[in-house]
Chain A
Amino acid sequence: MTAKPKRKVGVRARLAGLLIAPARRAMDLIDIPMHALQRRLGTGGVAAAMLAPNMLVFGVFVLFPMFLNVLYSFTGGGALFLNERVFVGTLQYETLLDCGSYADPATCREDRFWRAAGNTAFFVVIQVVALVIVSLMTALVLNREMRARGFWRAVFFFPVLLSPVVVALIWKWILQRNGVLNAMLVPLGIEPVLWLVERQWAMFWAIFVAIWAHLGFYTLILLAGLQAIPRDLYEAAEMDGTSRWRALTRITLPLLWPSLVVVILLALIRAVQVFDEVFVLTGGGPGTATLFLVQYIYETGLAQQVRNLGLASAASILMALVLIVLTLLQLLAAARRERRENR
């Protein structure tokens, strides 16, 4: 019978044990009241008690203001406090929805709301589609073996770290009459273009800047999704002689779908809420060419001489409804796809 070899405990492990020991002691101490609490409340009760502070904060700072918003939308007058405001029923909603033809904002009583709604819809469709495609392409490129990969990933992520106001100011300096872009075009014999004053260009740059500013965030999510796909799937496909395009459509995209759903959902919500960058970049102009719903709500509720909080609240409720419907549709589509794949 041979003697069992004695396990050698390394210095590093001992040191780690020493460092962890106080934490273990602390956890043991916490264990005492937790056991008492669990005996008293049961397992579910403890979970509820743990969640309660967070739910309280959520309730006070999110749910309660949302509830107040609904109440404000049924009131009128210039007063700030709800108890001093006049109940007007559905008047604010009727004002917003009073249109000869919804396709023509000029026929609507609150034409700026409908212009803002149209602009927002256009922005959401173009920006989200473009953002998802560009983010996906960027993630696919950054996922490949390449030189200075960390550097390139940082380059694409850098704009995410900037404040939206800074982003807008940088681009404003680039795009103004005497800005960098015109300074580059003039030597080529091209007349200076008023990029932020011509309607189509203003919308183009609003979308472009929004994509530039947020691209890194969505790329990062997709990159994480790509890295979670097992490499052996690609190796097997390669051995079977699968083309790159087929690998992309049959392996990458289906397995990336959960990440794509998250990206589309977040991009969609963020696009509907677009405000800060565009407000600083174009101020909603020229005219109302880049006026979006949140700016309309802000101006109606806060930047008028008589702050029309009722109308602004009603507009924000309508916007929230659209957002909820879009989110539900998105989630339904994702769930249906998942069910189909599981079958």
Chain B
Amino acid sequence: MTGKMVLPAALAAMLGGSAFAQEPVELRFMWYSDGNEGEVIADLVSRFEEENPDIRVVLDNVAYAVIRDQLPVQLEAGQGPDLARVTTLKDLAPHWLDLRGLVEEPAYWEENFGNYLDWMRPEGSDIIPGYMTQLTVTGPFVNRTLFEQAGVELPGEGATWDEWAAAVNEVAADQGIPMPLAIDRSGHRFAGPAISMGAQFIADDGSPAIIDDGFKAMAERIAGWHEDGTMSPEIWGSVSGTTLRAANEEFANAQVVMYYSGSWQIGQFAETIGDAFDWAAVPNPCGPAACTGIPGGAGVVGIKYTEHPEEVARLMDWLASEPVLKEFYERTLFLPGHAGLTASGLEYQSDNPSVKESLDTFVRSVGQLAPLANRMPAWDWANIVYFATVSRLGQVVAGELSLEDAYRRIEEDVDQQIAEAQR
């Protein structure tokens, strides 16, 4: 071939090639991170892309507030990403893609994620919308070093909330710590201790029945602990409305003796605290009715407005497969939301004894959850009740409302929200 012919031929080959090569399908995956899970999923997704060159996954790593506030609006408008990691699994369930006819083995999904599928299904439905990236349980962490330095014995399993309050006050007084006890400013975190005190939340017909003696017992403690200095107003009293205010930074800075949050903090504490002091999760404190936290978690779901449902299902099949999910849980230090992996156990990738002990404590606490606590994630009105609770109890802590007024307002707020939802 002469030089004059080679160039046009090469150009023709290039043009022809590009015309026939199929562009990979692009999937948008909305993700948020509490700890290192953003890096882990990015790593896994790039491996998936290598194995599946016809699919390109764009991982949109966003703040949790975007998932909470903006994604619902996008979904209402029939838009949004192709798949997302969310925590409001039940409330947004009408927008999830049904994977039953799309995944390779629906039986695998039912068998391993069956316990949690109701948390993400519309009421009365049997669709397969996604899988749990983590199972979470609310519960307390303690700064063990402070207890040791103060010479105060750590209350053991079965200790009540009042016994814990007395112990952390003793430690804080001895060590000059400004926050003996901190509980995330969240109705979700409040619910477990309230159930321990005997709160019922759900009436027989499934409607909210919020204000009872159990609820009042915990609400009175929250108010009382702020008055006597057990809890600092910096968490519950510092912001307004339904705003979530966590105390993880204060705990990591050794400003808190006991911090009530949940299992999702373990990965973050492993990084932020490291071995600066000894910390560990401890069993949920008890009330007269139970010693329970609230289960929950985050899941990956397909969005039904996607233009590529088959590719979404392929990605989810791959991510939810046992070896991939095992690696994900072990690297992120998350509790597994997969029956097979729960049974076979995981080898978490951490040398930190605090991490191992905390994971063991939370795994044990899953088996000790009150039946009502297990119902909460699948209850339609749970988030409405959580939001009203935190908004009004926040006003009590700030001195704007009496407890009696707060109870009345909580019921009014919940009624108004339900009326609006059912209109």
Contacts and interface: CB of A to CB of B under 8 A. Distances in A.
Contacts of A77: 420-421, 423
Interface in B374-423: 383-384, 387, 394-395, 397-401, 405, 409, 412, 416-418, 420-421, 423
A197 B398 CA distance: 9
A209 to B, nearest CB: 16
A288 B73 contact: no
Interface string A281-299: 0111111111100010001
A80 B420 contact: no
A276 interface: no
A78 B421 contact: yes
A109 B409 CA distance: 9
B38 interface: no
A109 B243 CA distance: 21
A307 B73 CA distance: 9
Contacts of B401: 106
A291 B394 CA distance: 13
A308 B240 contact: no
A287 B73 contact: no
Interface in B103-123: none
Nearest to B395: A287
A288 B240 contact: yes
Interface string B225-265: 00000000110011111110100000001010000000000
Nearest to A288: B240
B384 A305 contact: yes
A285 B383 CA distance: 21
Given A80-B73, A80-B76, A307-B73, A287 B417 contact: no
A288 B395 contact: yes
Nearest to A88: B423
Contact of A306 (B239, B253, B400, B417): B417
Contact of B399 (A177, A287, A291, A308): A287
B238 A285 contact: yes
Q: Is the interface of A mostly helix, strand, loop or mixed?
A: loop
Contacts of B397: 286-287
A164 interface: no
A199 interface: yes
B21 to A, nearest CB: 40
B398 A177 contact: no
Interface in A17-61: none
Contacts of B238: 196-197, 282-283, 285-286
Contacts of B423: 76-78, 86, 88
A286 B398 contact: yes
B35 interface: no
A306 B421 contact: yes
A302 interface: yes
Contacts of A63: none
Given A77-B420, A286-B238, A305 B398 contact: no
Interface size class, chain B: 35 or more
Of A286, A289, A305, A306, chain B has the most CB atoms within 10 Å of the CB of A305
A194 interface: yes
Interface in A81-117: 81, 86, 88, 106, 109, 111-112, 115
B378 to A, nearest CB: 15
A78 B72 CA distance: 11
A291 B418 CA distance: 24
A284 B241 contact: yes
Contacts of B241: 112, 283-284, 288, 291, 295, 299, 303
Contacts of A284: 239-241, 243
A286 B233 contact: yes
B343 interface: no
Interface string A238-252: 000000000000000
Contacts of B91: 305
A342 interface: no
A286 B394 CA distance: 8
Given A77-B420, A307-B72, A283 B233 contact: no
B387 A305 contact: yes
A304 interface: yes
Nearest to A84: B76
B153 interface: no
A287 B400 contact: yes
B5 interface: no
B406 to A, nearest CB: 11
A299 B72 contact: no
Given A287-B400, A288-B400, A79 B76 contact: yes
Interface of A: 76-81, 86, 88, 106, 109, 111-112, 115, 177-178, 194, 196-197, 199, 282-291, 295, 299, 302-308, 310
23 contacts: A76-B423, A79-B76, A80-B73, A177-B178, A177-B234, A194-B233, A197-B233, A284-B240, A284-B241, A285-B398, A286-B397, A286-B398, A287-B237, A287-B397, A288-B241, A288-B400, A295-B240, A299-B242, A302-B73, A303-B242, A307-B73, A308-B416, A308-B420
Q: Which 10 A-B pairs have the closest CB atoms?
A: A287-B398, A284-B240, A283-B239, A80-B76, A285-B239, A77-B423, A287-B400, A286-B398, A305-B383, A306-B421
